[in-house]
Amino acid sequence: MESKNYKIKRSFISNEEVKLITEWVDTIDFKSRESNYYITEFSKELKGKSHMFDISDTPLTNYITTFQSASEVHKEELPDFLKSIIKRVADEMGLPTDNSFVQVVDMNKGGKINAHYDVSKEGYINYKCNISVVAEDYNFYIDKDVFEVKATDMYCFEASLYKHWTDAFSSRRIFLSIGFLTPYSLLGRTDEDPNVRLSKRIEKYFMKKGEK
């Protein structure tokens, strides 16, 4: 199933990769820090842990990962199996990896993702490819669309341009959210695009409200 607002690749990761990710999640060191307004609103009902890894470590990814993370941003090398998954995503979707990052989220029963836009920076779309690692089948809502996600599926979308959310989960959920900060033109967008203009207004709103 393909549509304008999102792309789905069913069974994108193997069961072996599910096992590697699940074992690895429990070993990640979690260092909480004071959250800004944006992340507090976003993660209110997450009921779990979110680990942000800044892969590219550029001024742009430093800015976005710090802004979107409820905990200290990790800069250490990712395990090989995760690097190879991310490379596969970029190759298959034709995405640039020069400004990329990954968030590993482990949610408990009852957690949900409230409706939100991801933050971006002028000139770039925060393009996300999310992979469901462990979870019951769930509905993912994006703008006016909704689709079903099964464990091991990947879905990609322009997270700074469309509002997205989930219902509450009735069991543990682990997912990877891989971010590729992508110039407008590579995604066929321009400065004048109504969604791009909205995204700029959102960026300004959170800057005013959230940054100290």
Residue with Cβ nearer Fe ion (17 or 118) = 118
Number of residues this chain uses to bind Fe ion (CB under 5 A): 2
Q: State which H helix or E strand residue 133 sits in.
A: strand 124-134
Piece of 4-12, 48-56, 101-109, 157-165 that binds Fe ion (CB under 5 A): 157-165
Which residue's CB atom is positioned nearest to Fe ion?
118
Q: State which H helix or E strand residue 90 sits in.
A: helix 80-93
Alpha-carbon distance 99 to 121, whole Å?
Answer: 12
Minimum Å gap between C-beta 39 and Fe ion is 11
Residue 129 binding Fe ion, by CB under 5 A: no
First to last CA, the chain: 43
Residue with Cβ nearer Fe ion (20 or 124) = 124
Among 102, 159, 176, 181, binds Fe ion (CB under 5 A): 159
> How far, in Å, are 31, 76, 102 from residue 87 at the CA level?
27, 17, 12
Alpha-carbon distance 144 to 91, whole Å?
Answer: 28
Residue with Cβ nearer Fe ion (175 or 184) = 175
Minimum Å gap between C-beta 116 and Fe ion is 6
Which residues would be at the binding site for Fe ion (CB under 5 A)? 118, 159
